[in-house]
Structure 1
Amino acid sequence: MRLIKLKDVMFQTGLARSTVYKYISENRFPKPVSLGERNVAWVEREVEDWIASKIMERDEVCE
C-alpha cells in the first residue's frame, strides 16, 4: 500500500487542489489519511480506482 501527497493526486487526476477538496466534501472523491497535525496523503489505489470509475462511466455513456 502506498500513500501519495496532494501534488501527486493532482498530477494523476488532472484536478486542481480546490476541486479535489470540493469533491471530497461532496463524497465524490477518496478521503485523505491524516499523517499528522497538518499533513495528509491519499491511498494511491483508491485514487487509481476513482480514475478507473470515471473511465467506466465514460464508456457506459458511449455505448
Structure 2
Amino acid sequence: MSWSSVLSEPVILAKYEIDVSLVAPGITLGIAMLPIRECLAMRLLSKKQVREKVLYSPAHIARLEAAGKFPKRVRLGAARVGWIEQEVEDWLRELASKRDTPGS
C-alpha cells in the first residue's frame, strides 16, 4: 500500500530554511541530514503535567531546577510557567540510561 492511496491530499510535514552558505562546497543536503528535533513542534507542559510525568512534588522539581539538575521553566506570564516537553523527556531518558548503566 502506498501513501498516495492512504492520503487524499498532499501533506506538508515540515518547512525548513537552510543557509547554504554554511554548507561546504560539494556537499549535498538531503532530508536525512536534518535533525529530527527541529521538525517536531515545541510543546509546553504545565506544572501539573510535569508533576504527573516525573512523579515529583512541585517543591522537589523547583529544588532540582535550582540545582541545575532539571530542565529550566519558561516564564509565560506573571503567574504562569511551563516546561518544554522534549527537555523533560530527555531528562527522563538520561535517568533511565543511568539506571541501565552498570555501577550506577
Q: TM-score range by the shorter chain?
A: over 0.9
The residue correspondences of 1:1-63 to structure 2 (distance < 5 A) are 1-61=42-102
Query: What is the rounded CA distance, in whole Å, between the counterparts of 2:68 and 2:91 in structure 1?
Result: 12
The structure where strand makes up a greater share of residues is: 1
Q: Which has the higher contact order (CA 8 A, sep 6+)?
A: 1
Query: What is the rounded CA distance, in whole Å, between the counterparts of 1:61 and 1:41 in structure 2?
Result: 34
The one-letter amino acid of 1:42's match is W
Runs of 4+ in 1 over 6 A off after TM superposition: none
The structure where helix makes up a greater share of residues is: 1
Aligned with 1:61: secondary structure?
Answer: coil
How does the TM-score come out when normalised to structure 1? 0.93
Q: Identify unmatched segments of 5+ residues in structure 2.
A: 1-41
Number of residue pairs matched by the alignment: 63
Q: Identify unmatched segments of 5+ residues in structure 1.
A: none
How does the TM-score come out when normalised to structure 2? 0.58
Root mean square deviation, CA, Å: 1.4
| Identity over aligned pairs, percent | 33
- 1:46 shift after superposition: 0.3
